[in-house]
Amino acid sequence: MKCLLLVDIQNGFCSGGNLAVPNGEDIVPIVNRLIAKGRYDLVVASKDWHPADHGSFASQHPGSSPFKMGTLNGKPQMMWPDHCVQGSHDAEFHPGLNVGGIDHVQRKGEDPTIDSYSAFRDNDQSALTGLSGYLARAGIGSLDICGLATDYCVKASALDARAMLPGVKVRFISDASRGIDPTDVKAAIAEMSAAGVGIVTSADVLSER
Ligand code: VGL
Ligand code: ZN
């Protein structure tokens, strides 16, 4: 049972979005090729889904500004522009994404008091989204991961997949992902690799069987 996890391919992380990742939308045609024709048995997509007063937003912290480090509940937290607010255009999937190929959507980041980069659990690793149970019940043997942004939500999801889905082969599809900061992307790939995540390209995946 092969599963593909698409992380946060939302307007907010594409050009024109509130937290645009450089060239984020370039992954959309690549992702559409990956989900075409039943290459995967199961395709899951996460959505960053914040309430308007989410504590990761700089707007909630007087004197702060986006992309500065701040604190949330006493812990270091990057301050973000308001993004992916529940029900907004920013939170919708990119219009070019073949949403008909998605079997299950996992929302995350709904608790205003903590951020949730990973599709599996909040950043303090306490509250689960339910995705690990869903995938375990589905009986997946492999999980390929791609999306936005490599240095935040994709990395966190891949590391949690390794930690929370024992026995599942996890891979990161590099060209079907984009990151915020090039130096952080390099470090993220090294960290994923060290944690046992395979690093592949869409060409590798498309050439399989
Ligand atoms: C993300 C920062 C804040 C992501 C989400 O999807 O990588 N990054 N919220
Ligand atoms: Zn977010």
CA distance 90 to 107: 14
Sheet-wide strand order for 169-178: 104-108, 42-48, 2-7, 142-148, 169-178, 198-200
Asked if 82 contacts 57 with a C-beta cutoff of 8 angstroms, the reply is yes
Ligand at minimal distance from the CA of 118 is 1
Q: What superfamily would CATH give domain 2-49+87-207?
A: Isochorismatase-like (3.40.50.850)
Q: Is 75 a catalytic residue?
A: no
Residue 3: active-site member: no
Question: What's the pTM value of the predicted model, to 2 decimals?
Answer: 0.98
Q: Could you give the CA distance from residue 8 to residue 140 in angstroms, rounded to a whole number?
A: 21
Distance 197 CA to ligand 1 centre (A): 20
pLDDT tens track for 142-176? 999 999 999 999 999 999 999 999 999 999 999 99
User: Per-residue pLDDT tens for 33-81?
Assistant: 999 978 999 999 999 999 999 999 999 999 999 999 999 999 999 999 9
